[in-house]
Amino acid sequence: MDRSANIKRRFILHVDMNSFYASVESMMDPTLKGKPLAIAGNPEERRGIIVTCSYEARKFGVKTTMPLWQAKKLCPSLIVLRPDFQKYRTMSQKMFQLLREYTELVEPVSIDEGYLDITRISMSPIEAAEEIQNRLYHELGLPSSIGIAPNKFLAKMASDMKKPMGITVLRKREIRQILWPMTVGEMHGIGKATEEKLKKYNIHTIGDLAKEDAYSLKHRFGKNGVRMWERANGIDDRPVDPERASEFQSVGNSTTLAEDVSDETELKRVFSVLADSVERRMKGKKVVGQNLQIVIRYGDRKTVTRSKTLENPFHDKSEILEHAWSLFTKHWNGEPVRLLGITAADVIPKEKAYKQMDLFTFEQEKKRDDVNRLISDIQKKFGDHSIIRGKLTDDPS
């Protein structure tokens, strides 16, 4: 429930940590401060991918997702470290603990950003933002940018406007002057594919989008078309919901079998169905997982849970099935099974994820995403059984 529903004006903050992973590393090791620093998968290899980088590195043109060889060419003095997710999770918890000192209405969006509804606190929005930013920096050693606005969308857009260590107020009456001249690709929630589709309809700026007919956009883009139109016009009634974060901690599915089963072929078929369901739900939520868990319940109701942290974030059915089946065959005692389950845990928004991949793997992943998107579109239009995936050669057998 939105506790500020009866209040006409809302004050929402979006707190976004600056170069979070790199900032944590610099805070832990002061000798890194002020130096070009990058966090990358497989830093020993030229083909590693940049996860994030310090602002000193960005001055040389280094960017997130850039191949490591290219980054080092742009910045020969670049310091490269492997990611340490346990360290980052610990600092993230401290960050959100600090934010909750101001209001219980804190909604984490990812490991390094979140919304606060400060409508009911005694401090003014600017005072609160300044104090939060100063405390994050002086108590935790972490820089941040904060957006202040009457809703979540505008607060998110505002926090992106001044980095690092910026505080930006964005009012509804200012969106024509500030937001509308920006390209649609700069609008939160619009990816490259949607940007290209919008351009085909001669929609190049946020202003173009705001002036479009909402019904035409719905016809072309479905519900997302209306949502884009509303955001372009500064409309966003979503509450800051502390419970929403828990929805994204894990995505899973389980099934109780009609009878006890010990046949491997049938058990693998059940895992395949579960993997497909988990993949669909993850893609619907636009998240990827970092840890895979399975549940095995035997006929005598003895239950076994096993998990595995994967090197790369995952969301594809073939990966889910491969690792789930591997865990199962390793831990199954051969007795008849009554229930099976698969859960993707430690999930994060897909846009926040990274892949420790070389360029060849990157192309493979892109092609697989394109194929999966096509299959999903066909199934939505003509039914789940209208098209099915063929067996992948790297599936466990």
Q: Which residues are catalytic?
A: 113
The two structure tokens encoding residue 169: 């107020």
The two structure tokens encoding residue 148: 């202040």
Looking at 280-336, which runs of residues are DSSP E strands?
Answer: 287-298, 303-314
Cβ–Cβ under 8 Å, residues 62 and 74: yes
Asked if residue 84 belongs to a known ligand binding site, the reply is no
Q: What is the CA radius of gyration of the chain?
A: 23
- Upper half-sphere CA count for residue 178 (Cβ side, 13 Å): 14
Looking at 66-218, which runs of residues are DSSP E strands?
Answer: 79-81, 106-110, 113-117, 144-149, 167-169
338 phi and psi angles, rounded to 5 deg: -110, -25
Asked if residue 384 belongs to a known ligand binding site, the reply is no
Nearest CA-CA partner of 342 in 357, 327, 330, 329: 327
Nearest CA-CA partner of 128 in 112, 111, 147, 109: 147
Cβ–Cβ under 8 Å, residues 332 and 296: yes
Cβ–Cβ under 8 Å, residues 155 and 106: no
Distance (Å, whole) CA 68 – CA 355 = 13
Distances (CA, A) of 195 to 10, 152, 200, 202, 263: 30, 21, 9, 11, 49
Residues facing 79 on adjacent strands: 37
Distances (CA, A) of 379 to 258, 281, 313, 324, 333: 27, 14, 25, 24, 37
Residues facing 309 on adjacent strands: 291
CB atoms closer than 10 angstroms to residue 4: 17
For the annotated binding site, the residues are 16, 112
Numbered residues of the known binding site for Mg(2+):
16, 112
